[in-house]
Amino acid sequence: MIKRSDTNYSISILRKRLFAVSMAITFLFCVLCGRFLYVQVIWSEELGYRALDQWTREIPIVAQRGMITDRNGVVLAENRTAYTVYARSNAVTDKEKTAFLLADALSLDGQTTYEKLTKKKASEITVAKRVEKEKIANLATLSLDGVYYSRDNIRQYPKNDALCQVLGFTSSDNVGTTGLEKYYDGYLSGKNGEVLHETDLIGIDIEGSVATYLPAEDGYHIELTIDYGIQEIAESALQRAVATYSPVSAECIVLDVNTFEVLALANYPSYDLNDVPRNDSEALNRLSRNRLICDIYEPGSTFKIITSAANVEESLRGNAKAFSTNYVFSSSRTRAVDGTTVKCWSNHANGKHSNQTLAEALNNSCNPCFTDIALSLGKEKFYEYLSAFGFGKKTGIDFSGEAYGLLMPQTAVRACDLARIGFGQTIAVTGIQLACATAAAVNGGYYYTPRLVKRIYANDGYEVLKTEKKLQNRTISKEASDVLAKMLEGVVRDGSGKKAYIEGYKVGGKTGTAQKFENGHIAAGKYVSSFVGFFPANAPKYLALVVVDEPQGAYYGSVVAAPIAGEVFQGIIDLKHIKPYENEI
């Protein structure tokens, strides 16, 4: 006799089993539905491409890479039409004959071409790239089965080595590799299209099939802030200096003081962008580096502009630790700081550098005066100005690989370090940092983000991007800036910057001569000569920084670098037809 409790237990077990089975069936159903949804919705596009690839032959349509021009429309980078030749092995009826006909038409090795055509793994091969139009015309007359070609582009630089470190170059596949070609590759490259031909399983065209055309989307064009006329002037001035002093390298940047647009950026040595030394990686890296943005150097006395700016501003604010413009510094040529002796470049014989004001100290480039200023302002206050002027950080210029410079952490700075920073030692800067800092010191105190690109636009003129000047911060007041600019005008008129002076024009600036360090020690006989200047000094517009590394025969910035800047300014005056200030109404 079966008990009622046993019956209930059996029914309970049966229900649990039925529930488990139904849950398993439901789970499997959900998995199948999920897989169906994935295949039909999520994976459908990829599967469609795979099917299309099996049943079609694609002839790529290469997008035109965007042009690069200067601000006035001068073409700096463009394209030259070429072709890429392909072959679909299964569709080639006579491989040996085709291989040698291709080789003859395209100046290739016949045996190598034949081996490509007979490879079992590749259904389609690239026979040759960057084929000139004349060779394609010869190839077309042969009517070879399974052989076709598509238009390609070769990047071409009409100005050869001009702006080579700025523009950069592209790879063999027309992808930006260095410089602005790399930084703005997403805008320049465009999107390739293709022509699709229906084929059978072995790749032979199906008779009567209609080709599908997917157009390419050309890249956008880029207009730079560069003025090629000024660029030519800067490059010519550098070339003459290089011929005279045979330096390791030389650079010049011209900046619009009121917008921080880069008007010219020249580096020596350079290389031809149409003949890039791709087989020598060491030489290529050395020649393609944009040293004014990517490398650092000790600025020397050009940095005294920043120390002076901080002092003048603090003096106008009533800071008792700052020196007024009328203050007379002592005639001592040495000062001991933390056991380190700070010397002036002059021995102060015959009353030189005796009892001088700040303006005279700038004229004479007397180190102890600027040591006094840095130590008097103190580490905390001086570092506030160093930060405001952008040292120890990137300027934000639209270029890859910008260096931060080298600024000691404030907590690690000793009095002797602060003293040396005051006259441009124990600190390293990039050229773009110093140019921007100087511009912000003389333009009323406005520090903007420097830039190389003015706008990006499409073939129809539609502007994708238009850059505007972007204020980062204020450095000093307009009153302090005007005082400083007047002092720096005196440096060019009466002091160490005389060789940048131009009769009838107000030019301001500061020279620099810094000894180089190697392995922690001063490198005997090795100097960096520099000059940073601007004009008109009473209403600054153009700023030029010149840096010459290891000049031979002479090394003072006043002798080597200042004349280069003077030549650049004179060239700009002639190019822009700028009248002398005496004739201004």
**Chain position carrying tokens 């989307």:** 217
Residues 6+ apart with CB under 8 A from 186: none
Separation of alpha carbons 406 and 429, rounded Å: 6
Separation of alpha carbons 551 and 242, rounded Å: 8
DSSP result, 484-503: HHHHHHHHHHHSTTGGG--T
What tokens does 425 get? 């030692």
What tokens does 366 get? 């007397």
Q: Is residue 231 classed as helix, strand or coil in its secondary structure?
A: helix
**Among the listed residues 447, 565, 571, the one whose alpha carbon sits nearest the alpha carbon of residue 496:** 565
What tokens does 310 get? 């901080």
Q: Tell me how far apart the terminal alpha carbons of the chain are, to the nearest angstrom.
A: 128
8 Å CB contact between 499 and 558: yes
User: Catalytic residue positions?
Assistant: 301
Q: What is the DSSP letter of 276?
A: -
The angle subtended at Cα 225 by Cα 220 and Cα 231, nearest 5°, is 120
**Among the listed residues 505, 506, 498, 504, the one whose alpha carbon sits nearest the alpha carbon of residue 563:** 498
**Among the listed residues 553, 562, 502, 496, the one whose alpha carbon sits nearest the alpha carbon of residue 529:** 562
Separation of alpha carbons 78 and 585, rounded Å: 44
How many angstroms separate the Cα of 444 from the Cα of each of 257, 471, 476?
10, 12, 7
Question: Phi and psi of 340, rounded to 5°?
Answer: -105, 135
**Chain position carrying tokens 């639209």:** 398
